[in-house]
Structure 1
Amino acid sequence: MSRPDLHLYVDAQFVSPYGMSAFVALHEKGLPFELVPLNLAAKETEAPHFAAQSITRRVPTLIHGDFALSESSAIAEYVDEVFPGTPLYPANVRDRARARQIQAWLRSDLVALRNERSTEVVFLRPVDTPDTPLSREAQAAADKLIAAAELLLPSGETNLFGDWSIADTDLALMLNRLVLNGDPVPAALAAYARRQWQRPSVQLWVGRERPTP
């Protein structure tokens, strides 16, 4: 069997939300690809061969033949436009723009929440002291996340835009920083995050064997 033409470089601990997003995108498209873990602590992203391909020296990076692309939302948009299969973004132009807005916002905001409820909470274990409250800044970020999610998710709907999109995976992951740590989240949003977590492509990432921290 020939090697796949697609290679996805991710963190070797498999805790990156962005690595997961790119991984889910490729699986949703039904694309064969080689998963290549890099040890970030050992600075494997600085290796000359990888650095020359990725340009930004970041993971995830997708290699497609002679083309390399980093940043998970860029990877999702690229594979959605190049390959057939499950759509990763809504067909409606405004919904598609909103999905991209959600992705960009989740990657650039809510810093205190991301720091205090890292993705180790999601993929490995709750914080060392589960009763540790969020700081004022992180609680403000959590409140902002919840308020936005309640505005974005139609009442009683399973997905943001009717059919599933990659923005659902990204939003569910951010909510699960709270849900899976036992922090308070409105029941409807917690149920949404848990439903999204059961998607087969997501479970393939969640169920990966991870090095013991």
Structure 2
Amino acid sequence: MASHSEDALRLYVDSQFCSPYAMSAFVALQEKKLPFELITLDLAAKKNHEKDFTEKSLTQRVPTLLHGDFSLSESSAITEYVDEVFEGPALYPKDAKQRARARQVQAWLRSDLMAIRVERNTQVIFYGKKFAPLSEAALAAAQNLFFVVETLLPVGQENLFGEWSIADTDMALMLHRLVQHHEAVPARLVEYAHHQWQRASVQQWLQQGRPVL
């Protein structure tokens, strides 16, 4: 773990390790092979609204990354910052158009598909929770999700943009909300989601100790 030097990295995440956005930031740091301190906050107890944290996080949300005396919240901002500032494996495609597309995917996953995010929250993935059948709105959102992935994912390829990018982790997590609840998902997309789940950085997040709900 990093010491609290002027260049130390600290990542604040939720204490249940359920936030898909915290996972994205965590995976980014792991992929860059950067030492960092992982700090958990109990969101149910509103610890993110206490003064100690609000002085660090502009939006009072997790994930929040501290790099020395600089703090940054919002996961895609964090992953872009980490990719630009630190050496190591790229988190985004090298080609400008594909890099823009990867960022588009991240923005879309964070702003759309609300019915899936509500009806299949990430407790499905991290706690094996079961919910009622999907609503018509969620089924329509699922078809939209499948269309986007099938359009972007070349046949026979394992990643959306050739080499792995952080957008693959984010996309796979959205798919796993359905896959792990045993919804009807096209086989090619199930294979893609399972492949992305095998990355060492993802497995490290999956293996975090989670409190009982």
Residue number among 106, 109, 119 corresponding to 1:103 in the alignment: 106
Q: Deviations over 1:52-104 (max 9, x none)?
A: 11111000000000100000100000010000001000000000000000000
Q: Which residue of 2 aligns with 1:38?
A: 41
Aligned to 1:197: 197
Aligned length, in residue pairs: 210
Residue of structure 2 in register with 1:211 after alignment = 211
> Is the contact made by 2:11 and 2:64 (CA closer than 8 Å) also made in structure 1?
yes
Find 2:28's aligned residue among 25, 29, 36: 25
Q: Which of 9, 15, 19 is 1:16 aligned to?
A: 19
- Answer yes or no: is 1:66 the counterpart of 2:92: no
1:203 and 1:110 mapped to 2: Cα distance? 25
Report if aligned partners of 2:2, 2:37 keep a CA contact under 8 Å in 1.
Answer: no
Partner deviation per Cα, 1:121-149 (whole Å, 9 max, x = no partner): 01111415xxx321001111111001111
State the Cα deviation string for residues 157-206 of structure 1 (Å, max 9, x = none): 00011100000000000000000110010000000000000100000001
Query: Shift of the alpha carbon at 1:2?
Result: 6.3
1:47 paired with 2:50, answer: yes
- The residue type paired with residue 69 of structure 2 is D
Which structure 1 residue ranges, 5 or more long, are not aligned? none
* TM-score, scaled to structure 2: 0.96
* Distance across 1 between alignment mates of 2:20 and 2:154: 24
Unmatched runs of 5 consecutive residues or more in structure 2: none
**Displacement of 1:209 after TM fit?**
1.2
After the TM superposition, which residues 95-174 of structure 1 pair with which residues of structure 2 at under 5 Å, given as runs?
95-128=98-131, 132-174=132-174
The root-mean-square deviation of aligned C-alpha atoms, in Å, is 1.1
Specify the alignment match of 2:78 in structure 1.
75
* SS of residue matched to 1:63: strand
Residues 1:153 and 1:2: Cα distance change in structure 2 (over 3 Å): closer
Equivalent residue letter for 2:22: G
Q: Which amino acid aligns with 1:190?
A: V
**Residue identity matched to 1:152:** L
Quick check: 2:2–2:9 contact (8 Å CA) kept in 1? no
Task: Report the identity percentage.
Answer: 61
SS of structure 2 residue aligned to 1:122: helix
Shift of 1:49: 1.9
* Structure 2 CA distance for aligned equivalents of residues 195 and 207 of structure 1: 17
TM-score (norm 1): 0.96
